Structure 1
Amino acid sequence: MDDVNTTPTKWNETETLALTHFGNSDENDEERDDPTEGALASPLSEEDAALESWGIDDSKSLDLTRLYLNEIGHSPLLTAAEEVYFTRKAQQGCGASRARMIESNLRLVVKIARRYLNRGLPLLDLIEEGNLGLIHAVGKFNPELGYRFSTYATWWIRQTIERALMNQTRTVRLPIHIIKRINGYLRTGRQLSQASQRAASIDEIAREMECPVQEVERMLGLNERTTSISTFSSATDERSPLDTVADENGVDPALYVQDSDLKHGLRGWLDRLSAKQREVIERRFGLNGHERATLEQVGKDIGLTRERVRQIQVEALGHLRRIVESEGLTGDTLFC
């Protein structure tokens, strides 16, 4: 399956703990007869010394990782003959044999999961996804073909981890077939860069892949990372970027209160007008659900001439000005 492109970042202490248990990984481990060879846990004294020297604050996450790694370290690896035996028993419906196959290969999952650190998912999540692939591999393994189970399971473990990275680490999810095409272009670009000792251009990638330049540009453009502003950058953050971004369309609280008070006062002032004056003012200025209208439109709606509507408006506005001035306001406050 295609590799998932990511940007490396600094390892955290939880991931370093896995290194204490399982040592450094080899990129070609899956090509060996038994990738779990040498995967036994190191003595706990070394781990405890490392923990003390790190001074880790996230003790809860670290304790969970340490507990899991310690537990799976007690399951012995299976010989080739034992793999055949337990696989056959599992295929016959023996749950204990199936569990034995899974438990004896959990360290293989950790070994593979470490290769995908710093790609968007924490170590424990990578292990969880890899375990799903391991479980699937147990059900699909055919011991009669002659190869070791670890060789077969490696593909399934990698597939589930990579698919999880594709589906869970992007704010905007891309279809799997699109991600595979993107990874193909990226892989070609890396190969060209290694051969020429410089960054490969889009033209070179397109020429090597025998596809249009516009297609490569479009695919690589989809690979740009996006981050949700509501996502916390770390577990210790109390505020997300969304909490610090000002809303340009937001209403000033003081202006909102002032506007609310003015609307409340306006309703009271309109009640002190005659029915005809109030109707003209509401229609002319679009108040109380009416659309703003011209003098002529108002006259047609209420059966008056344009000039008569204008006279009523002048009378009503004069009355309103006297009302608001008596309350210490000015006409400009209402009709600005």
Structure 2
Amino acid sequence: MGSLRWGCSGMTIRKKRETRVKKGGVESRALKARGTDQPKAGNPWISHERGMMMKQYDHDPYPPFRFMVKKGEEADDAFEGLLEKGFPGSSMAEDEPPLKDIVCMEDKREPIAEAENETECDDSENEEMPDANAEREDDFDEDHISCYLREVSSYPLLTPEREVELARTIREGQDELVRLVAEHAVEDPVIKDLHEKVEKLLAHEKSFPGVRDKVLKVITRTLEKASRDNPGQSMYRELYRRCQEIMQTIDTAKHQMVKANLRLVLSIAKRYRGRGMSFDDLIQEGNLGLLKAVGRYDHTKGNRFSTYATWWVRQSIIRGIYDKTRTIRLPVHFIELKNLFFKVFHELVKELGREPTPAEIAERADIPPDKVQMVLSLVSQPVSLETPIGEDDQRLADFIEDENVESPVEGCEARELGEITRDLLAGLQPREEKILRLRFGLDGQPGETLEKIGKNFKVSKERIRQIEKKALRKLRHPSRQEMLKAYLE
């Protein structure tokens, strides 16, 4: 079969492509497409960032979507197989064979007319291209998300039989580690205490599926500490060595299950875009949920792992959105209450044709009215204090009063009151003045009890109370009260 041309706007095949920049302009060539380093004469190639576009000729209405296949029966078979598979979702099928002889011209999903305008450029425009284009490498740059997607798609899926085999390996490894501790519980008190902890944890296995991961951590940490603190005990070293071997087997099986189901995380994470978290973070949160699912999966229940893991991935993503998208974190139960509030709010708006009252929302949602008020007070988003106000470079913080700073008026009043108080106390006997200062903390110290003051003056607390009462009666004289009248109102 000679060189074959095919026009299809929905077809894309990604292959390496090489660009070469010369002084007179840009010239690109497809690697070994025709078994030569030079493009076909009279058919120049124009390089683009994500694909290679051909200059359009009158006799070829679909040049941007052309690809060529080398001669040979092997290429014919590969091409026919490619057509049979089709291109679901404008991309090759998941189990596509590598077609090394196919070189594809991939467009950027732009209109053909726009592509034609880009390709129709003369030599003078090519000479003015920036030097950065000349430094581009053969492979076009892709962001880290594209690289991750490509790597994840390369991991093969697990068959049901292989999935059960890996799950059985994990479960048997966990049981073997518990059995190893039980066998040596009689020989050593440290192992005996460890065995008792393990038994207590496993007693809650039905209620808490993740308790097995907790058991593995407790066993590994305890044996590691025992072997480190007792280097002369060969039993600890042997147990820890055996524990590491079992954990290595378990981790290998978990790793294979995680790799084979990373695509599941991607498909779920796409549904939660636009909720305050970047796609990178959504994938990370979903992967954490996938790791939890691997440790909790029980193949004896009869469910596929993907069915079981979906719920853990979704929960991990939702929790991540709740915990990390707000400037001020709110508890998960409060966010769920807020979602219920707004759901009922919109339902009542449609029914009543107006905004419902808090009492109506509380009645429909069957929640206490005080919780409705709490939701209303906390649903607002925080506002930055640096928000500009007006056109005079003023900020929102400039209009907010600092309650911790004393105002000039209050400071002046406090100084005047202090001077008047000192004058009033100066009219008392020295012992009376001293007792009042200690009793009410007028010198900036906390007030003292009658008993403590009595010990300082070496009298009874009853005598101190009498002196205090006499001094206060003197201060209540009308002539002295007149001085404090302005501050008592």
**TM-score by structure 1 length?**
0.50
Rg larger in structure: 2
Q: Would you tell me which structure has more helix in proportion to its own residues? A: 1
Q: Would you tell me which structure has more strand in proportion to its own residues? A: 2
More contact order relative to length (CA 8 Å, sep ≥ 6): 1
